[in-house]
Chain A
């Protein structure tokens, strides 16, 4: 049973560019949350997707957007990249449907460097 997989593992982008990060949830999971972890800090909640809609959002600008596909996989898009967007981006999946609320499993993250 594959866990949460994220791609790519590392990425280098230039200021002003756009980036797309991908997440495949653990088998059977229907909810995906994205987190940004700056160096030396704890992860910060960006947003959560369930049933292909953004359900909750943290304190992040509109440059951060996402999508969830019918197979529950998800993308995180960041436009107009800033140097401060350099971080480890973590994806976490869980099962929320059918009245359940299961433990979240995290992927290994995508290390984004903006130069």
Chain B
């Protein structure tokens, strides 16, 4: 069975602090994909990153970085120098190899960035 766990329900930081959002997943599939989505108050899920199970290279995109470790089944997301606009709920998700539109989502981490 597929499962994604985001143990941090809510995190509050002050602007310019770095923050890491944790994600642990379970799957028996050898090929799978991991995602991070951002959900602002408007409700729409905004795609941030996709990673396949064979690519363990860390990725950096501006202030965002992702650390994928298959050995610990983790796919953590770090925001460097956080900004108030980063305040949102962040979801980690797992999908099957050939179906990018069937997600198993974690319960989300609400990030509050205070000025």
Contact yes or no, B44 A45, CB < 8 A: no
Complex Cα gap A53–B29 (Å): 26
B100 surroundings in chain A (CB, below 8 A): 94, 101-104
Known contacts A41-B107, A42-B91; A93/B101 CB under 8 A: yes
Question: What is the CB-to-nearest-CB distance from A68 to chain B, in angstroms, rounded to a whole number?
Answer: 13
CB nearest to B93 among chain A residues: A42
Size of chain B's interface in residues, with CB distance under 8 A?
23
Given A94-B101, A101-B99, are A43 and B50 neighbors across the interface (CB < 8 Å)?
Answer: no
Q: Would you call the interface of chain A mostly helix, strand, loop, or mixed?
A: strand
Contact of B108 among A33, A42, A56, A93 (CB under 8 A): A42
Within 8 A of A (CB), among B54-113: 91, 93, 98-108
Q: Considering only CB atoms, which chain A residue lies closest to B45 in the complex?
A: A106
Contact A42 B99 (CB under 8 A): no
Known A-B contacts A42-B91, A56-B102; the reply to A103 vs B42 at CB < 8 A is no
How far is B6's CA from A43's CA once the two chains are assembled, in angstroms? 13
Q: Give B1-50 interface residues, CB cut-off 8 Å to A.
A: 4, 6, 37, 42-47, 50
Residues of B within 8 A of A (CB): 4, 6, 37, 42-47, 50, 91, 93, 98-108
Kindly list 12 other residue pairs between chains A and B, CB separation below 8 angstroms, not including A43-B91, A94-B101, A111-B43.
Answer: A31-B101, A42-B93, A42-B107, A43-B105, A45-B102, A45-B104, A48-B102, A92-B45, A92-B101, A101-B98, A106-B45, A107-B44
